[in-house]
Amino acid sequence: MVGTWWPIAKAEFLVRTVKLRRARKILYPGLIAVSVLVVLFGIPNIVSFFLAAYGAGFELLLATSLPGLMRTMMLVIWLMVLIIPLSNSLENLKTDQWDILFSSNVKTRDILFGTYLGKVPVYGLITLVLSSIIVAPFVYAYNVSILGQLLMYAVIILFGLATIWISNVVSTALHAKIGQSPRGDDIAKALSWAMIPIMFLPSMAAIYWTDSIVSMMGLEISMLLPSTWVADFLTWISVSESSLLPSSIANILNYWFQISPVISLTLFCGFAIAVYVLGFRGADSLFTLSSGLGSSKVTTVGKENIGIRGVRRIFGAEFGIIVATSLKDYTRKLQNVAKISYATFLSLMVPLLLATGPLTNVVDDPIFIPIMSCLSIGMMLGIFGGVVFGGIGLLDSHDQLWILKGAPGGILKFIAARVLSYMMLASFIAFLPSVFTGFLLQFTISTTMLMFVYIYVIIASGIFIGVGITAFNPSYDDTSSSSFTINTVATILITMISLMVGLIPGVLIAITQGAIAPALTISAIPAPIVGLIILCVGTFKLNISEVV
Amino acid sequence: MARNGSVIYTEELNKNFGSVQAVRNLDLEVFSGSRFGFLGPNGAGKTTTVRMLSGLLKQTSGSALVCGFDVSTQRNDIKAITGLLPESPGLYSKLSAVEFLEFIGALNKLSGESLHKRIDALLGMLGLEGRRNDLLESYSSGMKQKVLVASTLLHEPKLVFLDEPTSRLDPSASVLVKDLILVLAEETETSFFICTHQTSFAEDVCDVIGILNDGRLTTVGAPQEIVDQLGVSDLEDAYLKIVGGQIDREKLLSWRQ
């Protein structure tokens, strides 16, 4: 008889492939077949087509630098396979199924193994497709044999499976420690946002700020990462199974390999065995529902700060309460704070990149750099404004909507208060990168102020667009809903298009007339107009809509 | 169509959702100061009726007056003098009870000292004074229901729609809500329109009962009148006789074979 892990794996698989629904039995094998075709023929041909366009010189350069590139790409793929399932599972914190499982006398390690096995068909397929992007340049540069390619895919898939296992263990342990409650849900969502910068940005920054990817990845420190062991072993397979001359193979191995491929393989196998053993052995102690991160902590609100008291005074007795409530509700959610911090952090990276990256030699340009900074930070924060303040930030549930609709003019007051409170928060988000950029790139005070105004207008436009779209098609607190996906894509696209419409004449003015103020003014005009129209349409629709 | 003394008056009220007819030809009159109990199985159309009468949903056809206002054209007037307790709590998890009630008060044009006095009194009466400044995310479902009851009564509505008011409450809190309804109806002429599955609650609190089945109002009358008419011992038996749902013992065990 099959163990209790089997029905758990089956349920997990059904949840992960819910979009295929009833046609799952046909569509999933079809998806595998398409993926295999894409991996074996599609991606290698596309990669070869593009790489061939650069000529023989580039091919030689590629052949010599590929081992270093492999370490970088494996690091990126490793982090993606680790973070994406972790981040997804934290977005939807659910532990109430565990009560059912534990009451059915299921062992913790069966839950762990079952959920892992259920995730493998989906994330394994993603790993396979991603891995073909790594394998294809090797096939092109080294002319790797079919056996070599199959071995490379096998190693990458094994590595992917071990990574999915780590992700599964960590996410299950986090779910158990956080616990399912409104506060726990908020903590988990905040963590899901924090995962991306914590794990991705250091590697991205390392890639950007080094003079050469190759030299960076040759550093000894990268040898501590499992992704490097796998990358080196893959390099060894590809050169061993290539049409290269033995002397070329020896040169590559001597230049790149600090440790022998056998040690890399041993380290990788040891790593994989260790993560499986540790996961199973730690199952019972890790996965006891404990609400350890304070998910059931009772928070008592204190006296209102001067800012909130000021808001009440400015907006009058009744509307002031609604605006103040909106500010409190939004800023007390950890997930919102995490999103705003993430957006601000990314916007601070722009001037850093301009000041210390490859554009350092043009930093003194009095027109190019201010315009470039404003447009890139504006574009980034405009899109973030829409996604962070629209989306799931607007309305929590149908029932909340009923309460608002139950009051005379409730929806209009609510949306107006939400937008005003978001615009207040936007001033802080616009202020930090403007001042930081002005200071770092030595802008004049007037240029810094212009930058602040431009960025603020663009964030406000993003807010209008995001709130308007969410009001038009509420997604409530459900990030797995189709409404949420549609709203997010629509918000990003509309914000980008409306920014681009202004950006083109703005840049032309900057180039032809060399004037910053007119260029930024022209660039900033279309987005708020589009945003206000969408906001009005969305509010009107929400006001008259019938929610069942 | 305005009627003296009635707070709800409907004629041939219908609501369709696509091909599903949720409410069929509803003719109903509820008098001022009365406590009308709306009984019916899940999906019978009770919540849809409440949402139409409180100005949240448009009827497909027919007409209705609520407190003398037309549900088709005077929705904001209806919202201003009615209160609605929804079926499940849609509270703001990151607000305290006081902050949430302040918010609801502001939506209903209340503010200042009078609002705060009213909030303090309601929270005290519902036994929440010790938790008034705690975030609602830490409240139990019963406590959340009490906050919702307070939010519904905050602006002293003339007519209160209650959708399953005691489904999450413990027996003592249920008694408190029951007494609150009775005293408000008797002392302040507030009218109540209560959707519930709990026949005992309806029997204790309501002076008129309407039973809705498959979108159609099948029975209206005083609880004892309905019981006597059908020749049964209590309202639960009367409800089961009208709606169906009694299954014999043999059938109850048939799934084991």
At residue A43, the pLDDT reads 87
At residue A214, the pLDDT reads 46
Q: Which residues of B touch A182 (CB under 8 A)?
A: 93, 137
Region A91-103 average pLDDT:
71
Parent domain of B232 = 6-256
Q: Which residues of B touch A332 (CB under 8 A)?
A: 94-95, 135
Between CA B83 and CA B119 the distance in angstroms is: 16
CB of B206 within 8 Å of a chain A CB? The answer is no
Between CA B105 and CA B147 the distance in angstroms is: 13
Structure ipTM over 0.85, yes or no = no
Model confidence at B173: pLDDT above 60: yes
Of B48, B95, B111, Cβ closest to residue A329:
B95
Between CA A163 and CA A159 the distance in angstroms is: 6
Cβ-defined contact of A408 to B105 (cutoff 8 Å): no
Model confidence at A372: pLDDT above 60: yes
The 10s digit of each residue's pLDDT in B201-256 is 999 999 999 999 989 999 999 999 999 999 998 999 999 988 887 777 777 788 87
Cβ-defined contact of A413 to B93 (cutoff 8 Å): no
At residue A418, the pLDDT reads 95
pLDDT band, very low/low/confident/very high, at A206 (cuts 50, 70, 90)? low
Average pLDDT across chain B, whole number: 89
At residue B168, the pLDDT reads 80
Cβ-defined contact of B93 to A404 (cutoff 8 Å): no
Q: Name which of A497, A507, A245, A250 is nearest A370 in CA terms.
A: A507
Give backbone dihedrals phi and psi of B197, rounded to 5 degrees, phi first: -100, -15
Residues B139, B147 contacting (CB under 8 angstroms): yes
At residue A81, the pLDDT reads 78
CATH, residue B185: 3.40.50.300
Cβ-defined contact of A325 to B102 (cutoff 8 Å): yes
At residue A199, the pLDDT reads 64
Between CA A462 and CA A468 the distance in angstroms is: 10
Between CA A341 and CA A333 the distance in angstroms is: 13
CB of B12 within 8 Å of a chain A CB? The answer is no
Cβ-defined contact of A398 to B77 (cutoff 8 Å): no
At residue B151, the pLDDT reads 92
Cβ-defined contact of A399 to B87 (cutoff 8 Å): yes
CA-based end-to-end distance of chain B: 58
At residue A7, the pLDDT reads 87
Q: Which residues of A touch B96 (CB under 8 A)?
A: 300-301
Of A302, A399, A548, Cβ closest to residue B88:
A399
The 10s digit of each residue's pLDDT in B4-56 is 689 999 999 999 988 889 999 999 999 999 999 999 988 889 999 999 999 88
In a domain, B213, yes or no: yes
Give backbone dihedrals phi and psi of B135, rounded to 5 degrees, phi first: -65, 145
Region A88-112 average pLDDT:
75
Give the SS3 label for residue B31.
Answer: strand
Q: Name which of A16, A229, A62, A33 is nearest A128 in CA terms.
A: A33
Model confidence at B115: pLDDT above 90: yes
In the DSSP assignment, the letter for residue A259 is S
Amino acid at A239: V
Please report, for residues A81, A180, A181, B143, the alpha-carbon distance to residue A184 in angstroms, rounded to integers and kept in the order given: 24, 6, 5, 19
- Per the structure block, which two tokens stand in for A80? 């993606």
- Per the structure block, which two tokens stand in for A295? 């998910």
Closest chain B residue by Cα to residue A412: B107
Average pLDDT across chain A, whole number: 82
* Of A218-222, A251-255, A276-280, B43-47, minimum mean pLDDT range: A218-222
Pick among B49, B79, B103 to test the A interface (most A CBs inside 10 A): B103
The 10s digit of each residue's pLDDT in A417-451 is 999 999 999 999 999 999 999 998 888 999 999 99
Model confidence at A62: pLDDT above 80: no
The most confident of the ranges A43-57, A286-300, A301-315, A473-487 is A301-315
β-bridge pairing B69-70 and B20-31: unpaired
Q: What predicted TM-score, i.e. pTM, was given to this entire model?
A: 0.76
* Of A111-115, A282-286, B80-84, minimum mean pLDDT range: A282-286
Model confidence at A526: pLDDT above 70: yes
Cβ-defined contact of A325 to B133 (cutoff 8 Å): no
Cβ-defined contact of B107 to A299 (cutoff 8 Å): no
Closest chain A residue by Cα to residue B96: A301
Model confidence at A212: pLDDT above 50: no
The 10s digit of each residue's pLDDT in A167-188 is 888 887 877 777 667 777 787 7
Of B79, B89, B106, Cβ closest to residue A322:
B106
Between CA A510 and CA A518 the distance in angstroms is: 8
Region A365-380 average pLDDT:
85
At residue A216, the pLDDT reads 47
At residue A182, the pLDDT reads 72
Give the SS3 label for residue A181.
Answer: coil
Model confidence at A50: pLDDT above 50: yes
CB of B99 within 8 Å of a chain A CB? The answer is yes
* Higher per-residue pLDDT: B116 or A149: B116
Q: How many helices (H) and strands (E) does chain A have?
A: 23, 0
In a domain, B151, yes or no: yes
Cβ-defined contact of A322 to B107 (cutoff 8 Å): yes
In sequence order, which ranges of A210-366 are alpha helices (DSSP H)? Answer: 213-217, 226-240, 246-256, 261-281, 283-286, 306-315, 317-331, 334-356
In the DSSP assignment, the letter for residue B135 is B
At residue A348, the pLDDT reads 86
CB of A304 within 8 Å of a chain B CB? The answer is no
Model confidence at B81: pLDDT above 80: yes
User: Residue A480's CB: how many other CB atoms inside 10 A?
Assistant: 12
Region A491-507 average pLDDT:
91
| Number of structural domains chain B divides into | 1
pLDDT band, very low/low/confident/very high, at A94 (cuts 50, 70, 90)? low
Model confidence at A130: pLDDT above 70: yes
Model confidence at A276: pLDDT above 80: yes
At residue A198, the pLDDT reads 66
User: Residue B254's CB: how many other CB atoms inside 10 A?
Assistant: 10
- Chain B 54-83, CB below 8 Å of chain A: which residues? 54, 56-58, 76-77, 79-80, 82-83
Cβ-defined contact of B79 to A318 (cutoff 8 Å): no
Cβ-defined contact of A299 to B138 (cutoff 8 Å): yes
In a domain, B233, yes or no: yes
* Of A17-26, A130-139, A295-304, minimum mean pLDDT range: A295-304
CB of A186 within 8 Å of a chain B CB? The answer is yes
The 10s digit of each residue's pLDDT in A315-339 is 988 999 999 999 999 999 888 888 8
Q: Which residues of A touch B151 (CB under 8 A)?
A: 403
Closest chain B residue by Cα to residue A409: B76
Region A343-347 average pLDDT:
84
Region A280-291 average pLDDT:
68
**A339: closest CA of chain B, how far (Å):** 17
pLDDT band, very low/low/confident/very high, at A222 (cuts 50, 70, 90)? low
In a domain, B240, yes or no: yes
- Per the structure block, which two tokens stand in for B187? 């002392």
In a domain, B1, yes or no: no
**B34: closest CA of chain A, how far (Å):** 22
In a domain, B93, yes or no: yes
Please report, for residues A33, A34, A123, A148, the alpha-carbon distance to residue A29 in angstroms, rounded to integers and kept in the order given: 6, 9, 15, 25
Model confidence at A360: pLDDT above 80: no
CB of B88 within 8 Å of a chain A CB? The answer is yes
Between CA B17 and CA A261 the distance in angstroms is: 67
